[in-house]
Structure 1
Amino acid sequence: MKAALFKGKDHPLTIEEVKKPKPIKDQVLIKMKYAALNHRDLWVMQEQAQHLPNGIILGSDGSGVVDDVGEDADPLLVGAEVVINPSLDWGNNPIVQGDAFRILGFPDNGTFAEYMVISKKYIFEKPEHLSFEESAAVPLSALTAYRALFSKARLRAKEKVLITGIGGGAALWVLQFAVAYQARVFVTSGSDEKLKKAKELGAIGGFNYKDPEWAAKAQKETGGFDIIIDSAGGDQFSKLIELALPGGRIVNFGRTAGNITDISTRLLYWKQLSIHGSTMGTRDEFLSMIDFLESRKLKPVMDKTYALKDITQAFQRMEQGEHFGKIVLDIGK
């Protein structure tokens, strides 16, 4: 079978023929239809220093059809159209993942291949209203968004929400979930075009963070925010402390702008703010997320689809920040 292999940060991804896996015990073999890119894949390629001569198949998101099952899996699963939960071995504590927790795609082989094996407990029926292509764009980013917005920030209807860095998959899911929950949503971006697109998806307003005065303008226009969902970190985070209303909740699940630098400690305690870190989510949250988007017939925002053989160009688009929505791979091409 064909697979995209990562062999180390100084080696480009290569499409190679590798042995087709066989399911054992409770595993299922999935014939992959589509897979989706995440910033996590980029970070793995940029930061993993170890040399992997045999290569690892990256990819956390995917959809496909069950092709075969192991001895402890129900044969009736064969033919099932599924999406994959990439949150592996979370553990028993819903508050935080356990020591065995991993995200599909590294160190475990992931979805950028024609076939993959995974335990049956991580497959879920593909939502009926979504195509295979759309379904592949759901798991990691929508799960991350759901936990951040509902489990951590505990969104209530009519609250004011600010989402930083609109354009990536998780931020767009936060936008769609919050709008569906009747929140009043605002966004930031370094692109006026992306701000315009976010408004078309239901955002009330947007602010270009390349404008030195964006935070002051946001404060004047909105009065502040009950919830701020951030995927950037970096030196702009201090402005989020200023923009949060008393009793506000700030949730961070990313570091595209680097580490957080200075924040105002006085504002933190005087406003009685809550700052939450969030990563992925539990099985129950995955089920709740799927139910939420099915009940409201939500669909992912799609950017562009590439053939598996063009995976390098797909990652170049993500790295350059050109995308708005999910970048997807057609595994059959």
Structure 2
Amino acid sequence: MGFFDLHEPEDGQDRFFLYAMIILPFCSSGSYLFDAWYHYQYHSKERSYEGLLSTIMIVFSDLQYCAPIRSRKVLAIYYILLFIIKESATIGYLLYYIHEKEIFKIIFYSCFLFFDLLFTIGLIYCRVMNEYESHIVVENKHLFHFMSRLEVLLTIYIRVFIDPKYTSLTRHIIAYFLLFDFFSDSYSRFQGIWIKSALYLFATTTTISVATEWLHFNHELVIYEKISYLSELFATVFCDIIIILQFFPFHFKTQHVQNIAREALLFQKQLYEINASSNVSESSGSDTTNDAKTNAGEETQTYTNTTL
């Protein structure tokens, strides 16, 4: 399929979707790069724009794990290019905070550089070197779901970006909020403690990050901001772990086990319906017998009264 040697579309996908899954991560990483260096160049405290575009788009960067490229060489180049763009963006924020001498933010963005490196190595190992397939598949409906949820979340967060007293840079918490909702749809297929624990911890750290971000916005206490950033950092780790673990099939129930469970559930449902219909029949028969006895008693009583 064209230059990228794409996989054939599966159920819930089409050719336009496959190309979108390649282009959107580049758009996401490009917006992150733009916002980072825009902030580095124009970091007046009166500005409140920084981070809005990339905060909206960053969720699509995390979907690069299922890029539908079949060629191993092209896929390796694809991941490396995305890695370079994201690292360049993070370096922009890092240089700004080095200039401002904010130790906490320097450590934060340095960790992001390291985690992105590990994540890219993991993707290349799984997708390029071993050609593992994704077990959490993205379909057309998921993209539209992300977009619809973004509209709702942005109506809540837009006041943060338009407030001149509050500087909001690129944050991943909205993306993580969408992603743990997306990952949780596959929870019924998970098996083993590792991937389940990672999902629970991912959801917990994301929730803490969102909650403390709002506390910081309302109360302007530095401690809330630090907790929010630390939680986001841990959420990044757990998100990357989930994405890497989902390449390994032993973290998922086999299709045979799922079919058995589905058949057992169907059999239980049919058995329940049979029992319910049987109870209704018995109840109807009992009511009919009682009515017959009542009518017979009434007729006997009437005959007796007439005779007397």
Give the TM-score taking structure 1 as reference length. 0.26
Which protein has the larger Cα radius of gyration, Structure 1 or Structure 2? 2
Which of the pair is proportionally richer in helix?
2
